[in-house]
């Protein structure tokens, strides 16, 4: 594997992350969150949508088709978010707290993958 292959692989994974995130949140119920937390979700989605567009363009520029790439960690986190949304026996406050903790994991994982792209592009030694 060369650097170009690694960039293609990492960009494909990052594209999958953004696409899965955007697909999950499209129409997702966040009505139980307070306005500040809804704003955090909205800001993250704005970032993720822009990230998906930027990565798609980068992939086109290097002639890489990400295909149906999926990220299993994103699947697990979004399933957990969905499970929290569906909970009927939790208080609104507890549900909101659990949701935000899972959202934090999601954002942190997404950003770690963005950092991986920077490492590869800048050829930083690990």
Amino acid 126: pLDDT: 46
Of 71, 79, 75, give the one whose Cα is nearest residue 12.
71
**Residue pLDDT, tens place only, 43-100:** 999 999 999 999 999 999 999 998 888 999 999 999 999 999 999 999 999 999 999 9
> For the chain, what is the domain count?
1
Report residue 116 as tokens. Answer: 């991986």
Give 23's Cβ-side CA count (13 Å radius). Answer: 12
Amino acid 124: pLDDT: 56
Reported pTM: 0.90
Amino acid 1: pLDDT: 81
Q: Is residue 126 part of a domain?
A: no
Q: Are 59 and 11 in contact (CB under 8 A)?
A: yes
Confidence of residue 119 (pLDDT cuts 50, 70, 90): confident
Amino acid 125: pLDDT: 54
Q: Is residue 39 part of a domain?
A: yes
Mean pLDDT of 21-46: 96
Q: Which domain holds residue 78?
A: 3-121
Q: How far is CA 16 from CA 3, 13, 30, 57, 83, in A?
A: 20, 5, 23, 14, 21
CB atoms within 10 A of CB 48: 21
Q: Is residue 13 part of a domain?
A: yes
């Amino acid at each position: 594997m060369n650097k170009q292959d690694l960039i293609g692989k990492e960009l494909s994974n990052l594209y999958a992350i953004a696409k899965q995130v955007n697909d999950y949140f499209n129409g997702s119920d966040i009505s139980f969150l307070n306005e500040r937390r809804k704003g955090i979700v909205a800001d993250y989605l704005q970032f993720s949508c822009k990230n998906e567009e930027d990565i798609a363009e980068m992939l086109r520029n290097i002639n890489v088709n990400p295909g149906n790439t999926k990220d299993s960690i994103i699947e697990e986190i979004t399933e957990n978010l969905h499970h929290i949304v569906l909970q009927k026996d939790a208080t609104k406050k507890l549900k909101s707290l659990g949701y935000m903790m899972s959202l934090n994991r999601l954002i942190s994982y997404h950003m770690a993958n963005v950092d991986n792209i920077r490492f590869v592009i800048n050829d930083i030694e690990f």
